[in-house]
Structure 1
Amino acid sequence: MSSFMSVFASLVEHLADLLQPLLHTSATAAAIVLFTAFVRLLVHPLSRAAARGQRERAKLQPRIAELRKKHKSSPETMQKAIMELHREEKVSPLTGCLPMLFQMPAFFLLYHLFSNRSIGDEPNALLGHTLGAAPLGGRFHDALAHGGLLGEQGLVYVALFALVATVATFNYRRTKRQMAQAPTPGADAGQPVPGMAAMGKFMPLMSFFTLFTVAFVPLAAALYVVTSTTWSSIERAVLYRDMPYGAGVAAAPAL
């Protein structure tokens, strides 16, 4: 693991060296943003596949409604029939999870890289790099201890929080609008799915959970989260632009 971390640290340092003439002390932070964009480009085909899967599942809704109506007295039979329909049409309910799952290793790699004081037997030089005045290995509570919220380090986090809040608000409004247009599962059979009303209220708020992530992880990992979440918001707006509803259900915060 330490050798793998050394290779990854070297890649980040080389990319930062290329950006240093333009961005100076913020070159490493910019390298992390570019690394995140590269990961998202690699994952983009999975995101497109997830969007196609969502469209296919939307097309199945009338047939699923018929199955719910037909088997409303037997929930177990209903679930088996719905699963069989998905198998017949080769539609997987799990495709929407794949983009997030494939990003998690990159996030945790970055998290561990900027959480350890050493890489193998060598000191971790990356911890001394900064974004503005805030060290990339530092956290929000460190910034508060060095000048408070309006100090030089704190203002870096204020800017990140503002960006996250803007993206989360966009996602919140879009998800609320989509879920308002979506039919309530089971309503066609006269038996709404238990808990769906509460989930409908909770789901649009999930984007704001990114604020807590940014506050508790190292700044380098927070940059990954902010960049990836912003990318995801724009990507979803494009990929699901022709869907009246359904994309909102999958609009949980992405890494």
Structure 2
Amino acid sequence: MDISTLPVVGALLHAGADVIATLTTTLTPVADGFAAALAVVVVTVAVRALLVPLAVLQVRAERDRRRLAPELARLRRRHRGDRERFQRAVQQLYTSERVSPLAGCLPALAQAPVVSLVYTLFTHATIGGATNTLLEGTLVGVPLGHSLVAVLASPLWTHAWVVLVLLAVLVVVVEAGRRADRHWNAVPEADPLAAAPARIARVAPFVSVLFAAIAPLAAAVYVVTSACWTLGERAVLRRLVR
């Protein structure tokens, strides 16, 4: 089912498309051929700015996990082989510290509907039966509705460097974010149970690079902008949030 045909969702997507169209028109005298892509950047930044309160909650939850990590590691060693007692001890720890184990998940879940709407706006060729004019815009000659695969398979293949540059920037930003997360949420060497998720965490962030390569260029611009925002946002909030 196309979610853009749902009454409320369709209305929000149409409003978003109108905002981007207006931004593109406004920016064209200044940005010319970059106007549509710049409109995507502006909308992405505006949405992420609105979600900052949820990001603060995530950083606070991260801070609590970091603070409780040594005690959790001690409980794992103490109750090794007795999963039930370990879970009871963890629950008691969270209760005594007034920390919710779901504190970091709830803000992410709250962001999901907003992110899904923005994703739809940047990837769907039609919205509620109407053409999504954003994807007809271009960035250095590459239509925002084309993915890297589509560009390589078309006469525009010589412009594929535009997408490749975006992907290279995304790889650098994702790796910087991964290193910052690893530094901030260091896994104790003696905690083998936490080491496995840490190995998965090394690879998982790079899924966004694969997505950006196969998604329309508008979505790739969104992903790169969002990743840059996240990197800067986390760096600031980790210093400010107490």
Q: TM-score range by the shorter chain?
A: 0.7 to 0.9
**1:227–1:100 Cα change, 3 Å:** farther
**1:119–1:238 Cα change, 3 Å:** closer
CA contact (8 A) 1:47 1:96 kept: no
- Decide which of 85, 91, 104 is 1:96's aligned counterpart: 104
Name the residue aligned to 2:238: 240
Structure number with higher helix proportion: 2
Q: Give, in whole Å, the separation in 2 of the partners of 1:216 and 1:156.
A: 14
Q: Give, in whole Å, the separation in 2 of the partners of 1:32 and 1:94.
A: 32
CA apart distance, 1:148: 6.3
CA contact (8 A) 2:171 2:206 kept: yes
For structure 1, list consecutive stretches of 5 or more residues without a partner in the other structure.
243-255
Letter in 1 for 2:138: T
Name the residue aligned to 2:154: 146
**1:236–1:78 Cα change, 3 Å:** same
CA apart distance, 1:86: 1.2
CA apart distance, 1:236: 2.1
Letter in 1 for 2:95: R
**1:236–1:200 Cα change, 3 Å:** same
Name the residue aligned to 1:64: 72
Name the residue aligned to 2:36: 28
Count of residue correspondences: 233
Letter in 1 for 2:20: V
Name the residue aligned to 1:55: 63
TM-score by length of 2: 0.81
| RMSD between aligned residues | 2.8
Deviation per residue, 1:89-121 (Å, 9 max, x gap):
221233333454344333432333344443335
For structure 2, list consecutive stretches of 5 or more residues without a partner in the other structure.
1-5
Name the residue aligned to 2:173: 167
Please list, as runs of the form range in 1=range in 2, the aligned pairs for 1:1-255 lying within 5 A after superposition.
1=6, 2-147=10-155, 151-152=158-159, 154-177=160-183, 181-184=186-189, 187=191, 192-193=192-193, 196-240=194-238
| % same residue | 36
TM-score by length of 1: 0.78
Deviates more, 1:31-40 or 1:50-59: 50-59
Q: Give, in whole Å, the separation in 1 of the partners of 2:67 and 2:182.
A: 21
Letter in 1 for 2:145: G
